[in-house]
Structure 1
Amino acid sequence: MYGLIHSCVKEWVMNNYGKEKWMEILAISGADDEQTFLNFQCYPDQATLDFIGIVVKHLEISLEYFLEGVGMHFVDFTIEKGYGEMLHTLGRTFHAFLDNLDYLHCYLMTTAFPGIVMPSFACTEDADRPDVLYVDYYSRRQGLQTLAIGALKGCAKNFYNLAVQFEVMWTREERINEEEVVHHVRLRVTQLGQLTTPTLPVPSGDRPRSALSLAPAADTLAPAEVNFVNTAEFSAIHPYHFIFNQGLRVQQYGFGIGVLCPEVTSFPAVDELLELVWPYTTFNFENVERFKNLVFQFAVTKGTEKTVGTVLRGELIFLGDNRVLFLGNPMVTSLKELAEKSLKISDIPRSDSTRELILLKHQRSTEFDLMQRLEATTAELKRTAAALEKEKEKTDRLLHSMLPPEVAHKLKSGDKVQENFDSATILFSDIVTFTVIASHCEPRQIVQLLNEMYTRFDDATESNGVYKVETIGDAYMVVGGIPGRVRDHATRVTSQAIDMVRLARQVAHPITGAPVQIRVGLHTGPAVAGVVGQKMPRYCLFGDTVNVASRMESHGVPGRIHLSGDCKRRLEAEGSPYALESRGITEIKGKGMMETFFVESVYDPAVGRGINDAAADVGDNSGAEAGQSADSSAAQHSSVCGLQ
């Protein structure tokens, strides 16, 4: 089936169930949203039917409901694609529309949709009820009559302002030759009435006595006098005609038939020379009468090597005495096919529009091929753009893991990234006895330890609304109020510090198996932020606030949160819920004597005690530990931020 059907299914699902459901269907089926729905590409029937099965199962709807809904929507879909006017002009009545629908299919098969496998429709009226029509539906595909019913309902609504009811009277299979079987469905169509708001208005002159009936409002014209021409003259005018009787035996044929079938010397049965290929039905006189309003197609079966397979297309005219005249011409769609059949344009009567179609097809074939390539190229570009967008998202995520999103945006825009902040709170932390741990563990154990702990810390920065500046070794640096200016940056960073002390104890010491302890230091003050470097750019903080925060950590106590007086005053101004206790006057290297503070113990339900109780585990050596590591830790942190 052509991609138009696929695109119609896509549009119907999205209109009725939303884009999210459609994306779920694509994920289940593995279909490509672009490549699977090229309008002018033909796809295997089974692929389409398998996809329909997935849609129906996922939406939890019946196949009949789906097919009729898609069929009705297909009419609106084709109108949007520009085929509405072509459909609207097929007939003045719904009966006439159906009688000419096969002709439209044949035309589309020779132009925009070569190779289309089309159904066939034949109509008969109920002699007693003008509001009832019987439609015989023939198709080589089984089980799609509900799709056809939906499409015909849509046509009746859009083009004739009709509400109609379809009833399946019976379904059967009919063999049309030794190899092929056609599915025949008899439908009863009842006109329920005119709709109140027609989709496409029908001009008043086009409104017949019954919108369903083919019968004209006025009496039929009286037969005119008929003047006959002899067989030779008629053969010159219509070289590809033949006349057959009720027994389907040929009684007369034109010289063109003789050219296609040179071995014909008598008047054989029609099916000895030709095979009926359209409509899809068994070739007998009953079906000839039933499909008399359709364009018939016969393929040559007994001809020369080149002419076998040549299709004659034409109309049937009943002459009386159960004789039928077939007025046909070769069905040739291109100059190449004309040459393959050993035919010339002069072999086609001047009155037949096939001449113009062949030349037009030759002219437009290049345009059509270009259109197909353009559609395929457009789909490929869309896939490439989607893949590019996904890669861009990955790149942005990677960039945002290195730089704040607002900073990254400025860099991509070519803006200079350097900004002064009047007030920010900076946090430093390190692991207690990390030097000892590193000297007794394998490198992979150190990597595993840091990755496990820092992953937990990173998650906490998201929930607390702070920014992780960077990590070097066991040093972890966080800032609040940079790059996004917020009023409660000290409270946010303190919350982060509390979470970090708690989360660190969830990580096991690689040697002893005991919970890991960290030291945390906080300070509040002004700072300058900017991006340093072009290769592996880093968003760095500069200023004395960085140094003081580093000193708070290096002079801190394991398992506790050590902060400066400036940070304490900022917490009070913010109305922070955290209580602080004074550590007293402490000598801070490079800063002299300073009064510093600890965050009071906060109860941690995960371990059943306060976060600061861990300091008691260290004993009297905690102060010595802090003093011994102060110089090395401060130097490391200063190096991180580019200060000494």
Structure 2
Amino acid sequence: MYGLILDSMADHIKKLYGDKIWHSVVGSNDISNTFTTHKVYDEQLIPMIANSTEELTGVTANRIMEGAGRHFYYTWLTFYCFRNDRIIKVLGRTFRDFLNGLDCMHEFYKFSFADIHPPSFHISNEDVNGLELHYRSRRTFTGFMYYVEGLIRAIAEKFYSVDVSIHITQHGFRPKLFFDLLTNKALYYRIDFPNNEHTVFQNLIKEKRHLRLNHKIQFPSNLFFEQFPFHVVFDERLQILTTGHGLNIICSGLNGKRLNETFFMTRPLGYDLTWDNVLIHRNNVFELTSVKSTESINKSIYICSTTRHDRSMTHFIKLRGQMLHVEEWDCVVFLATFVMDDLDKMYEMGVYVNDLTFHDLSRDMVLHGLQQNTEYKLALDLEQGKNSRLEEIIQTLEVEQQVTDNLLYSMIPKEIASSLRKGNTSVSLCEKYQDVTVLFSDVVNFAHICHRIEPHEIMKTLNKMVKVFDMLCKEFKTYKVETVADGFMCISGAPTYDKNHTKVLADMAIEMLTVIKTVRVPKTKDSINIRIGLHCGGVVAGLVGHKIPRYCLFGDTVNIASKLEAAGKAQRIQISQCCKEKLVTYGDYQIEDKEDVRIKGCRPIKTHWL
């Protein structure tokens, strides 16, 4: 699985469901956030991503894959339009022709993606209303059925302005095998669209056939065979009747043997080499590979045998070409070309340039292909090197971004920071919360403690105290608003709503009285005591400041909570009447009545010890 497909799918999920969903997918599967185009990844990544997205969004994995197929086409065209756009255009004059040439498209991409394992396509049951498309692949994930469907729909719409209806009529998907070579199972799409070209094509074939019969056009077989030095002629029993002289040089004695015992078929993918399959797939490119390596080569049939040498063979013969059914002979001619990986291999197999044909590009590919291939490999290596460095830079940036985000979220809430990134102003983010709980705490006799220890010890003590309080904020999912000297302020119910906000802060306050015992005064090792005040009600919250913005709370609720803390006692939690009314519903707290607290500008407030 190349990174190109994974990168396109990641982009599809981000654009359709948002970055938050994508980051959740990445985190739950422990996979990379970015992918390199030409790098090969694990085949299981696509199923993992699709299934995780289904769990997070509720959209089925099949629908996600269909959308990803559509998106792949559009991103693929956008980023590689200088190549892919033209390739798709020349694959077929009509949508029907394009479907016939799908295998050719994958052959083209082998130049850019050398390790690609392309699927195989062919059409059948064609009529004026559409056709049946057979799809075979080595991949086992059923979601690729819908991925291909989305891709076909996008191309039909974009390039051919054709509105297609696609139905999956049969498939051989199983948990472990996508196709079965023995039972010949595959995926069949019924694609309905106006296919008038089918009738035109059939009529054209009939006209050409009548033309040959009427004019009695004949072509000597020996002259025909000379033009294809690597051809193979076989009958309905798959018995080889004759082979080209080029193939005879590499491996003699093939005449009379059965084709399926001498070669196996690697394309079209997933089919046995049978007479029926050959006739059905005549519009496909065939690729045959010898079952065994040739034992003896370069046995010259020429007089001047000194120009060739006997070599021991470890190579296999690979032929690629077209199957042509000759009705007059009731035979099939495999018009093949010898597939060469490199010049050294070609020489070792005893194949020379003069063995190749003049009428096609075989000789040009040998003479010029090596240099072009070397240049391409060099360019590809450079590109892959750049992609690797870019991936490392992106990963480094992601780490730095995470550090920056953590610092930002320590200053303002994550929800507020996300809104600012979207372009919202600080004024627009000001919000009123009707029901929250506010907590204040400070150290008893803090000024007296400061007179007894050094300044750096004061900072060390405060840092230890705030650290344990921060840990409690994280545990109870409350938000720390600020710390001023020995004062600590936090809130529950905002900016993220929690219906149990009073209970949450009450539990946290009780825990604060416990953990503060772990903080001692340097030198004397005396314990530190704190006062805590709790009050619930409405507040106004928003960002204040431009250079160093702070998330601040305003309102009587904040003032009362602060006064309750100031009027409290060491290692006690003072709560208001409204807090008591909320907590008694839980039945888990011991609450003591006490005298009212007088607050300047307000009537006396009834309070309690928690």
Q: TM-score range by the shorter chain?
A: 0.5 to 0.7
- CA–CA distance in 2 between the matches of 1:448 and 1:293? 82
- CA–CA distance in 1 between the matches of 2:151 and 2:164? 12
Q: Deviations over 1:511-564 (max 9, x none)?
A: 8868469xxxxxxxxxxxxxxxxxxxxxxxxxxxxxxxxxxxxxxxxxxxxxxx
Contact persistence 2:70–2:150 (CA under 8 A): yes
Partner of 1:247: 237
Contact persistence 2:232–2:242 (CA under 8 A): yes
- CA–CA distance in 2 between the matches of 1:135 and 1:435? 83
1:372 lines up with 2:384 in the alignment? yes
| 1:419-438 to 2 correspondences below 5 Å | 431=446, 433-434=448-449
Partner of 2:257: 268
TM-fit CA distance, 1:309 = 2.6
CA shift in 2, pair 1:363/1:339, >3 Å? farther
Contact persistence 1:72–1:150 (CA under 8 A): yes
Across the aligned residues of Structure 1 and Structure 2, the Cα RMSD in angstroms comes to 4.8
TM-fit CA distance, 1:507 = 6.1
Contact persistence 2:65–2:146 (CA under 8 A): yes
- CA–CA distance in 2 between the matches of 1:68 and 1:399? 42
State which structure, 1 or 2, has the greater radius of gyration over its C-alpha atoms. Answer: 1
Could you tell me which runs of 5 or more consecutive residues in structure 2 were left unpaired when the two chains were aligned: 296-311, 413-443, 474-479, 489-511, 532-557, 560-565, 569-573, 577-592, 600-610
SS across alignment from 2:164 = strand
Q: Deviations over 1:328-379 (max 9, x none)?
A: 1122244455456554444432333344443322331111121122212211
Partner of 1:317: 324
SS across alignment from 1:251 = strand
Could you tell me which runs of 5 or more consecutive residues in structure 1 were left unpaired when the two chains were aligned: 194-208, 401-428, 479-502, 518-576, 579-600, 614-644
SS across alignment from 1:351 = coil
Contact persistence 2:54–2:60 (CA under 8 A): yes
Contact persistence 1:298–1:311 (CA under 8 A): yes
CA shift in 2, pair 1:247/1:216, >3 Å? closer
* Identity across the alignment (%): 18
- CA–CA distance in 2 between the matches of 1:66 and 1:394? 32
1:210 lines up with 2:196 in the alignment? yes
Contact persistence 2:130–2:192 (CA under 8 A): yes
| 1:244-643 to 2 correspondences below 5 Å | 244-262=234-252, 264=253, 266-280=255-269, 281-302=271-292, 303-304=294-295, 306=313, 308-320=315-327, 321-335=329-343, 337-339=345-347, 341-357=349-365, 358-359=369-370, 360-390=372-402, 431=446, 433-434=448-449, 451-452=464-465, 463=481, 515=529, 605=575
Picking from 228, 238, 247, the partner of 2:228 is 238
TM-fit CA distance, 1:101 = 1.0
Partner of 1:84: 85
Picking from 61, 64, 77, the partner of 1:63 is 61
TM-fit CA distance, 1:395 = 8.7
Contact persistence 2:173–2:179 (CA under 8 A): no
TM-fit CA distance, 1:293 = 0.7
CA shift in 2, pair 1:515/1:296, >3 Å? closer
TM-fit CA distance, 1:252 = 1.1
Partner of 1:43: 41
Contact persistence 1:334–1:361 (CA under 8 A): no
- CA–CA distance in 2 between the matches of 1:73 and 1:333? 34
Contact persistence 1:314–1:328 (CA under 8 A): yes
Partner of 2:432: none
- CA–CA distance in 2 between the matches of 1:13 and 1:346? 54
- CA–CA distance in 1 between the matches of 2:316 and 2:346? 12
1:104 lines up with 2:105 in the alignment? yes
TM-fit CA distance, 1:42 = 1.9
Shifted more, 116-125 versus 180-189: the winner is: 180-189
Contact persistence 1:506–1:516 (CA under 8 A): no
TM-fit CA distance, 1:235 = 4.5
TM-fit CA distance, 1:24 = 1.3
- CA–CA distance in 2 between the matches of 1:119 and 1:272? 24
Partner of 1:220: 207
Partner of 2:162: 162
- CA–CA distance in 2 between the matches of 1:387 and 1:176? 39
TM-fit CA distance, 1:611 = 8.7
Partner of 1:189: 191
TM-fit CA distance, 1:445 = 12
- CA–CA distance in 1 between the matches of 2:249 and 2:50? 47
- CA–CA distance in 2 between the matches of 1:114 and 1:437? 75
Q: Match of 1:286, as an amino acid?
A: D
TM-fit CA distance, 1:230 = 5.0
Q: Deviations over 1:130-155 (max 9, x none)?
A: 01212222222232322222222222
TM-fit CA distance, 1:389 = 4.4
Q: Deviations over 1:444-481 (max 9, x none)?
A: 99955773279879x9xx857xx96xx7xxxx799xxx
CA shift in 2, pair 1:332/1:56, >3 Å? farther
- CA–CA distance in 1 between the matches of 2:117 and 2:245? 31
Contact persistence 1:306–1:342 (CA under 8 A): no
Q: Deviations over 1:263-298 (max 9, x none)?
A: x26421112221111002111111111100111100
Q: Deviations over 1:75-109 (max 9, x none)?
A: 22221122122112211222211111112212222
SS across alignment from 1:189 = strand
Partner of 2:137: 139
Q: Deviations over 1:12-40 (max 9, x none)?
A: 11121112211111111111122xx2111
SS across alignment from 2:186 = strand
Q: Normalization by structure 2: what TM-score? A: 0.62
- CA–CA distance in 2 between the matches of 1:177 and 1:453? 62
Q: Match of 1:310, as an amino acid?
A: I
- CA–CA distance in 2 between the matches of 1:189 and 1:338? 43
CA shift in 2, pair 1:343/1:41, >3 Å? farther
- CA–CA distance in 1 between the matches of 2:66 and 2:410? 49
Picking from 61, 73, 77, the partner of 1:75 is 73
Contact persistence 1:297–1:314 (CA under 8 A): yes
- CA–CA distance in 1 between the matches of 2:19 and 2:334? 52
CA shift in 2, pair 1:179/1:90, >3 Å? closer
CA shift in 2, pair 1:75/1:611, >3 Å? same
- CA–CA distance in 2 between the matches of 1:507 and 1:173? 62
Q: Match of 1:14, as an amino acid?
A: K
Contact persistence 2:242–2:255 (CA under 8 A): no
- CA–CA distance in 2 between the matches of 1:293 and 1:379? 41
